Amino acid sequence: MSAALLRSDATALAAVATLLGPDPAAGLDGADGPDRPAPAERAYAVLPRRSRPRYLVPVDGRHARGAHIRPGAGAAQAATRLALRTALRTGIGRVLPDRLLVDDGDAHHPGLRRHLATLLDRDDIDLAIALGAPRPNRKPVVQAIGADGGTVAWVKVGVDTHTDELVAHEIDALQAVAGRDPSVVTPPLLASGTWQGHPLLALGHIEMSESAGELDLPPSAIRAIAGPTADEDVVNSAWWRALEAAPDGDGAVATLLAALRPDVAGRRWAFGRWHGDLAPWNATWEGDRLLAWDWERSHTPVPLGLDLFHNRVQVAVVRDGVGVPDALRAAAAAETETLVALGYAADDAPLLARAYAVTLRSRYASDALHGPLGPCAPIAAGIDADPTLGREAVA
């Protein structure tokens, strides 16, 4: 499947149909003659519409009732998606006009659903597929749903070198973090392998209560995710050197680093792992345990505490429409106490906001090698607009 086809709404459904069908590279071993049975097709409703595909859900109400439609970042979106979830339980998928027919394959040349049924040892599953908006890391996130409506597994499949790396990163992160600290719960790794030549990751379901509200992150949670830390001189750290070596097509990362260098010269910070996409839509609390999923952006080493900034900045920008520089300044002010508890000086807070900004901007520079940034483009532009966050305002 061409990843370029998936990154455009106009061609995404054709790409998904190929991904869900039998592996074209496997060949049919002569079974494509007149004696081959007709393809067993399965129907999926396309939401919200064919011209803007974001989800594919089974038309069968038994499975559709379990389809997970994410709540969205705003109250209106959350209410709309809650109503849609309720409607799917009634079997509305059977009458929705926009559908995609997929070749389910057979025992010898299975489609993805059949392949997962074998991998998970559940022959009663059907699939719901979340696509999200067009962007460089767009790839299907597949929910395997049993006939009882319960989630059997969450499956990620790479579609090109970029998304292959993200799936591999998630596997590595989960293996590093799982069970290391009982206060952080990760989805269990059920299986890994390949599909159509790309890595496949199947994760167990953890009960979660998604929210677009606030996610409280105390120092203990940040330390639990970070694992062992090491103090380094900031400008000579492995993190800094990695940013200097990473792709930087328009020089934005170099500009941010040049502006940051004189302000962090001589400082020593603690470095460890971060989740990389920690926000209310990817984590929730269950008592004193943090349940966190979507670890594909997790890396180490980064300055301790960058997850604090991602959590606050993404909510402010995506949910509340705050400008990026203002969101970064507000996050520095709001998280100063937590950062001090993590061992920082109070005046490190605005510098860590800029460290987060350059880390995120480097991510976008790497993503941009694979296509337009889509919904992330305004965030990248907001970071570029104020490389020092108005140094005088936060000093």
E strands, the chain, are 41-49, 52-58, 99-103, 126-130, 141-145, 151-157, 184-185, 189-195, 198-203, 230-233, 268-274, 283-286, 289-292, 299-303
Residue 30 confidence class, pLDDT cut points 50, 70, 90: very low
Res 94 pLDDT > 70: no
pLDDT of residue 394: 45
**What are the extents of the domains in the chain?**
3-203, 219-394
3-state secondary structure of 251: coil
Helix (H) or strand (E) holding 329: helix 324-341
Over residues 53-93, the pLDDT tens digits come to 999 999 887 898 888 886 555 555 555 555 565 556 655 55
Calculate what percentage of the chain has a pLDDT beyond 70. 86
Burial 194-219 (b: 16+ CB within 10 A, else e): ebbebbbbbbebbebebebeebebeb
Query: How many alpha carbons fall within 13 Å on the CB side of residue 258?
Result: 7
Joined together, the tokens standing for residue 185 give 């719960």
Residue 367 CA: distances (Å) to CA of 188, 195, 222: 28, 23, 26
Q: Does domain 219-394 have CATH number 3.90.1200?
A: yes
pTM for the structure as a whole: 0.90
Burial 136-169 (b: 16+ CB within 10 A, else e): bbbbbbbbbbbeeeebbbbbbbbbbebbbebbeb
